[in-house]
């Protein structure tokens, strides 16, 4: 009896089980939508939130551990989306090849950009990715054969393992992808790579002296970020069934930065919450407010002000707020909490 | 006009060590204010520009006082993220305050062109180039010869030492933000006649100005100006002789490749980080 209890307890404490349960809970949403308890538009919003959570997870790894900013997220995501559409619809190679293309090609481009820009100073990556994003955006508008230009690329739900997918199934795929990404991120952070990244974060010079190849690990973090962006782009296309160049602009990249900052650096669940706050709250709440709900620029101001306020007052993001709350609620772990706080304080400097 | 925006970025970078990603959108904001005053009240261009300058200075002050100054404890990355947040705030505010319809800004000199061989240059373009050079030159003289310039340069080289020497570094920083705002506004007014005034019309300027800084190197004040003129000339050349659609992209790629050869920019010195 007691052994099964501890086994169950251990199982419950295993973070991977937590991610799986989180995914299972999300899986109930299409059922709710199907039974009419939830509006389909709400399901779409949640779906896009989860897609953005995947992208933000990649940027969180990059920003949270190596302190690098990528402003090219939207470009890489758009590239993933167009590649998926091109491979699936124009070349007719099916779902899996489409996903593979959306994963590999943006990552390769990302690595090339990283190799060029990371050698000098961290900030060059932000400038280089900003540029790449502008180049990609122009390409999306101009390369008619590839993207159908500003008229937008139309696609349709994929056929997976012989099954014609519908909205609910694609939503399910998004959830599975998100859970896999959460697990992968968890493993990266807690593995040997994660230790190297942690060491870099504390002191780049010290890590270098200990034999950590700083450039390689920065490049790795950036590659993962572009990989996730490509994946999210493909999922976006399969979920919406179309893609327009105007989607992949600078605001999207900035919004992803906002998700990471608001959710809390180096926090996996925080990133999902951040994606929800930045994307779903304007969509579900702000647009329905009287008078100011119609103002076009409101979501931008909302995200922008949130970024500034969070950086100024809560450097740990919503996760920091959560931690403070938990510490006040339970004083059962008096040792680890101050240690955590002290570490965070060091990190904030 | 890229040179002016680049100068603004480098001023802020040197004095408060913040990569000023919001330079373009702040310029856009005050530039839109210029267009707004001009279109609504019918005031002459010079008066509108004066109003725009006032707006730009006020913005620079507000940003430094309300946000940047309180970020002493935040990391460099945190400050950069804050400027990213500023972009969104300005982009959101501009259509609310000035309306959503795209506006037009007239040229300072409406027509007429100078013909040199095959190339022709409008008087307005000439005016812009001359103004750009004059402002840049004026700034250099100020930086090198005046007391304020000395204070800026001291703050740029080492803020803590400068403060110990009795230089009001806070005032220098706020001045740099305001100056960057005005420079951004001027760049916006110069580029506006070529397009319409919409919230995103300064994006290219922002990218190009950042690239000018990269190309010229972040260590000097004149490097970015040099970089900006080089980019402008090379860009026109590529668009004319290679491809009007892909010229710009090609140029960006070339600059990225250039970074492989000279990572610190044209006149850059090696950047050393003290442990």
For residue A243, list its beta bridge partners.
Answer: A153
Instruction: Report helix, strand or coil for B199.
Output: coil
Among candidates A131, A304, A312 on the partner chain, residue whose Cβ is nearest the Cβ of B88: A304
Give me the residues of A, 61-90, that contact B with CB < 8 A.
Answer: 63, 67, 69, 71
Burial-class residue B273 by CB neighbours within 10 Å (0-12, 13-18, 19+): exposed
pLDDT at A34: 67
pLDDT at B101: 62
Per the CB < 8 A criterion, the answer to whether A24 and A173 are in contact is no
Give me the residues of B, 6-65, that contact A with CB < 8 A.
Answer: 19, 21
Among candidates A132, A298, A315 on the partner chain, residue whose Cβ is nearest the Cβ of B92: A298
Q: pLDDT tens-digit profile of A243-302?
A: 787 778 777 888 888 888 887 777 778 788 888 888 877 777 766 665 555 566 677 777
Q: pLDDT tens-digit profile of B109-144?
A: 555 555 555 555 566 667 777 777 788 788 888 877
Phi, then psi, of B262 in degrees rounded to 5: -125, 85
pLDDT band with cut points at 50, 70 and 90 for residue A340: very low
Average pLDDT, chain A: 76
Phi, then psi, of A329 in degrees rounded to 5: -70, -40
pLDDT at A341: 44
Domain boundaries, chain B: 2-198
Q: pLDDT tens-digit profile of B1-46?
A: 567 777 777 777 766 667 777 777 777 777 777 777 777 776 677 7
All residues at 6 or more sequence positions from A85 whose CB lies less than 8 Å from its CB, including other chains = A98, A153, A155, A237, A243
| Stretches in chain B below the pLDDT threshold 70 | 1-2, 14-17, 42-43, 71-76, 98-125, 192-202, 242-245, 260-275
Per the CB < 8 A criterion, the answer to whether B205 and B191 are in contact is yes
Per the CB < 8 A criterion, the answer to whether B180 and B11 are in contact is yes
Tokens of B266: 């044209």
Per the listing, tokens 């006020």 go with: B58
Per the CB < 8 A criterion, the answer to whether B16 and B27 are in contact is no
Burial-class residue A74 by CB neighbours within 10 Å (0-12, 13-18, 19+): buried
Q: Which of A25, A8, A9, A13 has the alpha carbon at shortest distance from A178?
A: A25
pLDDT at A348 over 50: no
Minimum distance, in Å, between the CA of residue B119 and any CA atom of chain A: 27
Write down how long chain A is: 349
pLDDT at A344: 46
Tell me the torsion sign for CA atoms B9, B12, B14, B16: negative
Contacts of B260 in chain A (CB under 8 A): 116, 119
For residue B122, list its beta bridge partners.
Answer: B113
Per the CB < 8 A criterion, the answer to whether B223 and B266 are in contact is yes
Q: Which of A123, A120, A65, A2 has the alpha carbon at shortest distance from A266?
A: A65
Domains defined for chain A, CATH in brackets: 11-279 (1.10.3470)
CB proximity B70 to A under 8 Å: yes
Cα B256 → chain centroid: 20
Higher-scoring residue by pLDDT: B10, A48: A48
Give me the residues of A, 86-125, that contact B with CB < 8 A.
Answer: 113, 116-117, 119-124
* Longest alpha-carbon distance in chain A: 67
pLDDT at A345: 43
Tokens of A168: 């609910």
Per the listing, tokens 């906002």 go with: A258
Q: Tell me the H-state helices in chain A.
A: 2-13, 15-34, 40-66, 73-85, 95-117, 123-142, 144-147, 167-190, 192-202, 204-209, 214-240, 250-263, 268-275, 281-284, 298-313, 317-329, 336-348
Q: What HEC string does B16-84 produce?
A: HCCCCCCHHHHHHHHHHHHHHHHHHHCCCHHHHHHHHHHHHHHHHHHHHHHCHHHHCCCCHHHHHHHHH
Give the Cβ contact number of residue B93 at 10 Å: 18
Q: pLDDT tens-digit profile of A60-113?
A: 888 887 778 888 888 888 888 888 888 887 777 777 888 888 888 888 988 888
Distance CA A121, CA A112 (A): 16
For residue A154, list its beta bridge partners.
Answer: A242
For residue A282, list its beta bridge partners.
Answer: none
Burial A145-183 (b: 16+ CB within 10 A, else e): eebbeeeebebeebebeeeebebebbbbbbbebbbebbb
pLDDT at A182: 86
Cβ–Cβ gap B80/A130 under 8 Å: no
pLDDT at A339: 43
Minimum distance, in Å, between the CA of residue B51 and any CA atom of chain A: 24
* Mean pLDDT along residues A305-318: 74
Q: Which of B18, B23, B22, B28 has the alpha carbon at shortest distance from B7?
A: B23
Rounded to two decimals, the ipTM of the complex is 0.73
Instruction: Report helix, strand or coil for A70.
Output: coil
Per the CB < 8 A criterion, the answer to whether B264 and B258 are in contact is no
Among candidates B100, B246, B275 on the partner chain, residue whose Cβ is nearest the Cβ of A205: B275
Per the CB < 8 A criterion, the answer to whether A307 and B88 are in contact is yes
């Amino acid at each position: 009896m007691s052994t099964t209890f501890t086994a169950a307890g251990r199982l419950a404490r295993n973070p991977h089980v937590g991610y799986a349960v989180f995914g299972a809970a999300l899986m109930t949403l299409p059922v709710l939508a199907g039974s009419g308890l939830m509006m389909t538009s709400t399901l779409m919003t949640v779906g896009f939130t989860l897609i953005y959570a995947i992208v933000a997870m990649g940027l969180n790894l990059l920003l949270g551990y190596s302190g690098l900013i990528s402003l090219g997220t939207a470009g890489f995501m758009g590239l993933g989306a167009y590649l998926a559409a091109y491979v699936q619809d124009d070349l007719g190679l099916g779902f899996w090849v489409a996903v593979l293309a959306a994963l590999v090609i943006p990552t390769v481009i990302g690595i090339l950009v990283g190799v060029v820009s990371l050698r000098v100073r961290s900030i060059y990556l932000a400038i280089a990715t900003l540029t790449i994003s502008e180049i990609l955006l122009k390409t999306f508008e101009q390369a008619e054969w590839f993207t159908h230009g500003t008229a937008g690329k139309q696609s349709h739900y994929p056929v997976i393992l012989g099954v014609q997918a519908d909205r609910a199934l694609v939503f399910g795929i998004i959830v599975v992808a998100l859970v896999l990404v959460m697990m992968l991120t968890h493993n990266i952070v807690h593995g040997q790579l994660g230790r190297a990244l942690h060491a870099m974060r504390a002191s780049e010079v010290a890590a270098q002296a200990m034999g950590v190849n700083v450039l390689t690990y920065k490049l790795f973090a950036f590659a993962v970020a572009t990989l996730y962006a490509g994946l999210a782009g493909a999922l976006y296309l399969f979920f919406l069934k179309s893609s327009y160049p105007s989607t992949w602009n600078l605001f999207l990249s900035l919004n992803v930065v906002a998700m990471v900052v608001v959710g809390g650096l180096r926090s996996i669940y925080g990133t999902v919450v951040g994606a929800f706050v930045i994307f779903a709250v304007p969509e579900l709440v702000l647009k329905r407010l009287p008078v100011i709900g119609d103002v076009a620029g409101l979501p931008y101001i909302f995200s922008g002000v949130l970024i500034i306020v969070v950086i100024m007052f809560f450097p740990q993001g919503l996760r920091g707020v959560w931690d403070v709350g938990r510490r006040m609620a339970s004083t059962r772990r008096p040792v680890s909490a101050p240690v955590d706080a002290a570490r965070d304080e060091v990190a904030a400097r | 006009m890229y040179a002016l925006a680049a100068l603004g970025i480098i001023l802020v970078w040197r004095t408060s060590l913040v990569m000023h990603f919001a330079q373009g959108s702040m310029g856009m904001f005050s530039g839109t204010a210029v267009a707004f005053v001009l279109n609504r009240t019918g005031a002459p261009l010079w008066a509108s520009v004066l109003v725009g300058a006032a707006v730009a200075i006020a913005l620079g002050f507000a940003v430094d006082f309300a946000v940047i100054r309180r970020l002493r404890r935040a990391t460099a990355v945190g400050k950069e993220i804050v400027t990213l947040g500023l972009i969104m705030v300005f982009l959101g505010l501009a259509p609310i305050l000035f309306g959503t319809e795209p506006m037009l800004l007239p040229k300072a000199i409406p027509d007429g062109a100078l013909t040199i061989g095959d190339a022709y240059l409008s008087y307005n373009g000439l005016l812009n180039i001359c103004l750009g050079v004059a402002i840049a030159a004026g700034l250099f003289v100020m930086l090198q010869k005046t007391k304020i310039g000395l204070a800026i340069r001291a703050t740029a080289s080492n803020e803590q030492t400068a403060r110990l020497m009795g230089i009001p570094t806070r005032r220098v920083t706020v001045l740099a933000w305001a100056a960057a705002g005005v420079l951004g506004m001027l760049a916006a007014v110069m580029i506006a006649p070529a397009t319409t005034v919409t919230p995103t019309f300064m994006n290219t300027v922002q990218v190009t100005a950042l690239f000018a800084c990269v190309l010229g190197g972040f260590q000097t004040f004149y490097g970015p100006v040099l970089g900006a003129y080089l980019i402008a000339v090379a860009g026109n050349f590529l668009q004319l002789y290679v491809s009007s659609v892909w010229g710009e992209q090609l140029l960006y790629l070339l600059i990225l490749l250039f970074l492989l050869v000279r990572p610190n920019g044209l006149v850059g010195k090696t950047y050393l980080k003290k442990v």
